[in-house]
Amino acid sequence: METLIINLGPPGDVLRTTVLLKELEGSIYWLSSKKCKDVLNSKKIKKTFFIEENESIGEIKKYFFDLIISLNEQKEALDFLEKLNYKKIIGVYKEGDKINYSPESSYWFDMSLISKLGKEKADKLKLKNKKSYPQILIEMIGKKWKGQEYDLGIDLEKSKEKEAKGRIGLINVVTGLWPNKGWVGYEQLAEKLKEDNYEVVFLGIRPSIKEHIEDIEKCELVVCGDTLGMHIALALKKKVVALFNCTSPFEIYDYGCLVKITSPLLKKYFYKKEYSIEAVKAIKIEEVYAAIKKLLKG
């Protein structure tokens, strides 16, 4: 069985897709972008191809895949998909000039920008959805959801040895399409935690994702929005307090170590691309602080 996963999305999206590696059999290949290289180190991936590299693109065209799992709606990915050889596809593909998606993947893509149901219905479905993205992916390939975990390709026992007890990492940097993922309370929260003698570090943007992973490895607990750092922390089995101002908290599975704090204004700012100070102020510092204290006692 030769399977190709296509995901050219941001690193956090690619990392959460690694749950598929827990269920797929045979040789697994991955087509991604170079920015995701540091989250695709699983030993279960036989070979990774990068869309920006001519050598990779030339080589992948020589393969015949039994299955392609296509998870991108971007034109670049779909145009390239047409040049590949395969038996079956699950996910998105082009049908002439139109974008279509397979029946197995309809639960997810019916909520997407390419939904056959139209944007209004898609948005309503996304707001009502209570399944996590990992569960949706596992069910997409016909397997039973059992809490399959991310696969970052890191020895978790060795990683745990780097952790400093009582060190709390705050990820106060937001990138991407959703500026309301940010939160105004990080500085005040840091002062409150320092008064309790916790070591607090701000985990900003680093030159590489590898360095971001190493920063998170050193923490016992991470506070963040719906970010790459959240997905890395989950993969590393860290304690996480995650804030949801504008994205779906239900799409994130907690794996028994994550506490979700949902904004009281979530519905108002659900996947809104315009920044709002009201949105990033809605979650109270006291609520985040209480969640941290509870997790660290557990």
Query: Which distant-in-sequence residues (6+ apart) come within 8 Å of 176 by Cβ?
Result: 10
Query: Which distant-in-sequence residues (6+ apart) come within 8 Å of 257 by Cβ?
Result: 234, 237, 238, 239, 240, 295
With tokens 């019916």, the residue in question is: 110
Task: Judge if 49 and 170 occupy the same domain.
Answer: no
Task: Judge if 206 and 258 occupy the same domain.
Answer: yes
Task: Judge if 122 and 239 occupy the same domain.
Answer: no
CB 271 within 8 A of CB 123: yes
272-296 residue pLDDT tens: 999 999 999 999 999 999 999 999 9
Task: Judge if 132 and 178 occupy the same domain.
Answer: no
Q: What per-residue confidence (pLDDT) applies to 204? A: 85
Task: Judge if 98 and 211 occupy the same domain.
Answer: no
Q: What per-residue confidence (pLDDT) applies to 75? A: 82
Q: What per-residue confidence (pLDDT) applies to 298? A: 58
Q: How many structural domains compose the chain?
A: 2
Gap between the Cα atoms of 160 and 280, Å rounded = 32
* CATH (domain of 94): 3.40.50
Q: What is the pTM of this model?
A: 0.94
Task: Judge if 206 and 249 occupy the same domain.
Answer: yes
In-domain check, residue 146: no
Which residues on adjacent β-strands are paired with residue 2? 27
What interhelical angle do 186-195 and 285-297 show, nearest 10?
50
Comparing C-alpha atoms, which of 229, 198, 200 is closest to residue 216?
229
In-domain check, residue 170: yes
In-domain check, residue 292: yes
Gap between the Cα atoms of 199 and 297, Å rounded = 16
With tokens 């996480």, the residue in question is: 240
* CATH (domain of 282): 3.40.50.2000
In-domain check, residue 149: no
Gap between the Cα atoms of 185 and 271, Å rounded = 21
Gap between the Cα atoms of 86 and 117, Å rounded = 28
Task: Judge if 97 and 163 occupy the same domain.
Answer: no
Gap between the Cα atoms of 49 and 230, Å rounded = 25
Task: Judge if 196 and 70 occupy the same domain.
Answer: no
Residues of the chain short of pLDDT 50, as ranges, are: none
Gap between the Cα atoms of 18 and 33, Å rounded = 15
Task: Judge if 13 and 120 occupy the same domain.
Answer: yes
In-domain check, residue 147: no
Task: Judge if 128 and 171 occupy the same domain.
Answer: no
- For residue 131, give its domain range: 2-140
In-domain check, residue 42: yes
Task: Judge if 128 and 173 occupy the same domain.
Answer: no
In-domain check, residue 62: yes
CB 24 within 8 A of CB 51: no
In-domain check, residue 150: no
152-196 residue pLDDT tens: 999 999 999 999 999 999 999 887 788 999 999 999 999 999 999
Q: What per-residue confidence (pLDDT) applies to 150? A: 98
Which residues on adjacent β-strands are paired with residue 92? 101
Q: What per-residue confidence (pLDDT) applies to 173? A: 85
